[in-house]
């Protein structure tokens, strides 16, 4: 049983507002778009990113590795300076990295190709453990997620044999969001804030699923299985949206979430739509931070923004390495300020 009491965090809140001010700005991203991959590496070094000289790695892989390690260190430092309920809540948040790493291990197993640079070891699963698990059985990999029972592990291992990887990932995600809900329900004001973050995140996830699979070959029932509840969009509403044409979906989303969505081209690529949804997410996260300045909100908001910065840097590096144009890269960046 998780016990959590309500607290205020004025000192932490101040520290995270300062950290937020040091994140990359829009004008810096614009400069990065004009750099080649090697100039980009030099720029990032000046920003405090450390690069290892690994001959067998291409420049993009070096950037990805550096950004991932930087993020790991930052999240580890945050964990060290938090205390009490903030620490417990943040530990639950970091569990998502263990989950993502287990998913990546399962994907690597399925593909027969282990890629070290895709792992971000910010949770309890450290890099040494990942390197051990890569040669382990599916059940041993799943056991790394302590919240799964033996019965669940056996069931998911069987699904893996049946090539039901999406079902496994969806099942684990729902368990994770259930854990967050459990903590949120034990809090009063803080719990309401946490639930707002959670519901917002689930809405973004569900909208992404809705738009991504609108024209897929998946059946209506299969798509509905992927939705994660409870966001603010109900199961009934998602079922109704799933049956509409794209233009009608767009109209409904605009009426539900506001004018921000009005200028979004609903027929854009899934990557562009993802970026637009994340911009909306970050704008609301920032709004939460300003309306709840002495709560845990600035901590969560900063971490989400730092993660977004890492995503943007890796996207730019990857795109530069493969020769994409500035405009193509810009459309997929998540810049909210």
Stated pTM of the model: 0.87
pLDDT (average), residues 211-238: 78
DSSP output for 48-68: T------TTS-HHHHHHHHHH
Residue 7 confidence (pLDDT): 53
CATH 3.30.110 corresponds to the domain 187-295 = no
pLDDT (tens digit, 9 = 90+) per residue, 294-316? 677 888 889 999 999 999 999 99
- Distance of alpha carbon 216 from alpha carbon 213, whole angstroms: 5
- Whether the CB-CB separation of 323 and 37 falls below 8 Å is answered with no
pLDDT (average), residues 185-202: 79
pLDDT (tens digit, 9 = 90+) per residue, 109-125? 999 888 888 899 999 99
Residue 72, SS3?
helix
Residue 76, SS3?
helix
Q: What is the dihedral of CA 182, 225, 300, 118, to 10 degrees?
A: 120
For the chain, give every domain's residue range: 187-295
């Amino acid at each position: 049983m998780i016990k959590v009491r309500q607290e205020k965090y004025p000192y932490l809140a101040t520290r995270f507002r300062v950290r937020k001010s040091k994140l990359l700005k829009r004008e810096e991203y614009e400069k990065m778009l004009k750099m080649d991959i090697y100039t980009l590496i030099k720029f990032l070094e000046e920003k405090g990113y450390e690069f290892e000289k690994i001959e067998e790695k291409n420049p993009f892989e070096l950037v990805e590795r550096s950004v991932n390690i930087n993020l790991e260190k930052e999240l580890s430092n945050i964990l060290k300076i938090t205390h009490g309920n903030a620490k417990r809540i943040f530990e639950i948040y970091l569990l998502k990295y263990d989950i993502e790493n287990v998913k990546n291990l399962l994907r690597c197993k399925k593909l027969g190709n282990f890629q070290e640079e895709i792992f971000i070891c910010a949770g309890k699963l450290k890099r040494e453990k990942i390197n051990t698990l890569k040669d382990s059985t599916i059940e041993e990999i799943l056991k790394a997620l302590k919240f799964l029972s033996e019965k669940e592990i056996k069931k998911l291992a069987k699904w893996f044999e049946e090539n039901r990887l999406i079902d496994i990932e969806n099942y684990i995600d729902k368990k994770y969001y259930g854990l967050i809900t459990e903590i949120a329900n034990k809090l009063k004001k803080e719990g309401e804030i946490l639930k707002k973050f959670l519901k917002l995140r689930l809405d973004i996830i569900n909208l992404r699923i809705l738009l991504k699979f609108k024209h897929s070959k998946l059946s209506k029932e299969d798509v509905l299985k992927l939705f994660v509840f409870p966001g603010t969009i109900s199961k009934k509403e998602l079922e109704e949206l799933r049956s509409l044409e794209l233009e009608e979906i767009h109209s409904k989303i605009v009426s539900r979430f506001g004018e921000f969505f009005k200028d979004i081209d609903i027929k854009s690529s899934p990557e562009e739509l993802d970026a637009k949804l994340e911009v909306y997410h970050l704008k609301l996260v920032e709004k939460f931070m300003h309306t709840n300045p002495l709560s845990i909100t600035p901590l969560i908001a900063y971490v989400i923004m730092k993660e977004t910065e890492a995503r943007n840097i890796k996207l730019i590096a990857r795109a530069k390495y493969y020769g994409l144009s500035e405009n193509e890269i810009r459309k997929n960046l998540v810049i909210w300020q």
